[in-house]
Amino acid sequence: MKYREDIRNVAIIAHVDHGKTTLVDELLKQSDTLDGHTQLQERAMDSNAIESERGITILAKNTAVDYKGTRINILDTPGHADFGGEVERIMKMVDGVVLVVDAYEGTMPQTRFVLKKALEQKVTPIVVVNKIDKPSARPEHVVDEVLELFIELGADDDQLDFPVIYASALNGTSSDSDNPEDQEPTMAPIFDQIIEHVPAPVDNSDEPLQFQVSLLDYNDYVGRIGIGRVFRGTMKVGDQVALMKLDGSVKNFRVTKIFGFFGLQRVEINEAKAGDLIAVSGMEDIFVGETVADVANQEALPILHIDEPTLQMTFLVNNSPFAGREGKYVTSRKIEERLMSELQTDVSLRVEPIGPDSWTVSGRGELHLSILIENMRREGYELQVSRPEVIEREIEGVKCEPFERVQIDTPEEYMGSVIESLSLRKGEMQDMIHTGNGQIRLIFLAPARGLIGYTTEFLSMTRGYGIMHHTFDQYLPMIQGTIGGRHQGALVSIDTGKATTYSIMSIEERGTVFVEPTTDVYEGMIIGENNRDNDLTVNITRAKQMTNVRSANKDQTSVIKKAKILTLEESLEFLNDDEYCEVTPESIRLRKQILNKNEREKASKKRKVAE
């Protein structure tokens, strides 16, 4: 069998923040790819504005580097489980993975998640222990943890025989030794292990074509772009090919453009052979998992499995009293067009219309959906969204709900309250590990609906010292009764106008205020959180009565507490079933679904009678 020794296809996988994207930057810098004039910005692969701000990778991206005459195609994958659909499909495109693990944190929930996907596809692993320069690094323990995780996930003997490289991606150093003193200012050990260890693709370019789409991109000029790997044969610009659709139908089309990847650029090429990772345009309705084959030899590759959504929200046209003030796109037609265009590239998303002005949008988690909302508001859209809900499923006649694996690192003093709070949310403790320095690691299996809105409570409970990561584990039989949810009621404005310092002072003792003086408010808008568990209607627009009688103690200068301004994620976590979050390019407001106080009370009574 012939192999293409001049190519290697690898994916870089890791938990969030363990340094994948920084490592790709260094590999780019230290290869023979970029010319001397190219200035790389930090985390150059995270090109999207939200990715740059949050320091996370949302979309998988490919690049290619040349090293000693070998082309190495590198895919930088997301670490968040919400974007796990991307990771799974990428494993089909590569022959090896570089697993990056933090030299202090060790294996984390998403390390487990991404490694499981890699081992299932039988790809060859290489382990990079990153951040070796940290004073708290514990490389030996981390390598043991990685080995245990490999064994636990059922790795075979070949996969267990993985090489380990110790590196500091930030400093651009690496070495085969776990002693930080031995670090050298080069990434050569990583490149050498990739070339030596990762199998070269089979060269069967003289056989009939088979190309499978693993990722989608969209471009206003050429429409949909299918990104994937040529598994067999050769594809040339101008070729007539057959697109094998997921529903079994076949469409013929002509390849108009083929792009290869090199450095940070997409480069137009005329032909691609077996083993190449390319992007192809010319097909209007190409979808992930479909096979492009030779017209005379229509053989489809196995369909790619895509993780189903586990969380859904209702998106609505904004109908608040302030609707249309700040947004550029406010109509249902514009919102629907935008959601449909998102479906062009995001295969883990589902959109179903449920009325003329509302849609059910389902995704892989809170982060997945909140990033879509954040993107929309930045583009000038105005909309309302409901509280996130988990998607229930019936499996073999049993009603099931999604459960998540939760890993918590916290100082020991907060351990009791964390265990108690997660038990109340029906979490079951699986493991407890003392990691030293008064720190403890807790592993739970908890229903996903119990974790909606838990982050804020968790951070205040651990005074901000706790770190929590959770990732979808499996569907299990549903737990009866309500789980989680907000314990406190809301402070709701009874009037429309501007918030005044005078009224905020009188409301402060009732709870936490979310708005600052002079903010525009409307009747039914939530302006804070009540200290008690019931909703309280308050007047936040009342001004101080001016009289000509001077008081004996003169007016003291009014000092009010700083308002707690909620981010988009915090606002979504705060929501109850009878509330909406109004999102515009300039504001995030919380409101009751029924704005009028009397009508709200009537509806609440009706609900209680019905129950």
Question: What is each CA distance from 541 to 167, 217, 262, 517, in whole angstroms?
Answer: 58, 49, 59, 9
Sheet holding 173-175, edge to edge: 61-67, 70-76, 7-14, 96-102, 124-130, 164-168, 173-175
3-state secondary structure of 457: helix
18 among the known binding-site residues? yes
130 among the known binding-site residues? yes
537 among the known binding-site residues? no
Which of these, 462, 463, 472, 457, lies nearest to 442 by C-alpha position?
Answer: 462
Classify residue 24 by burial, with Cβ atoms within 10 Å: 0-12, 13-18, 19+: buried
| Identity of residue 400 | C
204 among the known binding-site residues? no
Question: What is each CA distance from 22 to 58, 100, 146, in whole angstroms?
Answer: 15, 11, 21
21 among the known binding-site residues? yes
Q: Quick one: DSSP state of residue 15?
A: S
Residue 509 makes CB contacts below 8 A (sequence gap 6+) with: none
Sheet holding 265-269, edge to edge: 250-254, 240-244, 291-294, 210-219, 223-232, 277-281, 257-262, 265-269
Q: Which two tokens stand for residue 272?
A: 């691609």
462 among the known binding-site residues? no
Three-class secondary structure assignment of 87-127: HHHHCCCCCEEEEEEECCCECCHHHHHHHHHHHHCCCEEEE
Whole-angstrom Cα distance, residue 417 to residue 428?
14
501 among the known binding-site residues? no
Are the C-beta atoms of 416 and 600 separated by less than 8 Å?
Answer: no
Burial 592-602 (b: 16+ CB within 10 A, else e): bebbebeebee
Q: Determine how many CB atoms are found less than 10 A away from the CB of residue 559.
A: 7
| Residue found by looking up tokens 């679904």 in the block | 593
Q: Which helix (H) or strand (E) element contains residue 62?
A: strand 61-67
17 among the known binding-site residues? yes
Are the C-beta atoms of 237 and 256 separated by less than 8 Å?
Answer: yes
Whole-angstrom Cα distance, residue 162 to residue 193?
10
Whole-angstrom Cα distance, residue 44 to residue 277?
20
Question: What is each CA distance from 309 to 178, 215, 360, 551, 580, in whole angstroms?
Answer: 41, 17, 12, 63, 22
Q: Which residues are annotated as a binding site for GTP?
A: 17-22, 130-133
Q: Which residues are annotated as a binding site?
A: 17-22, 130-133
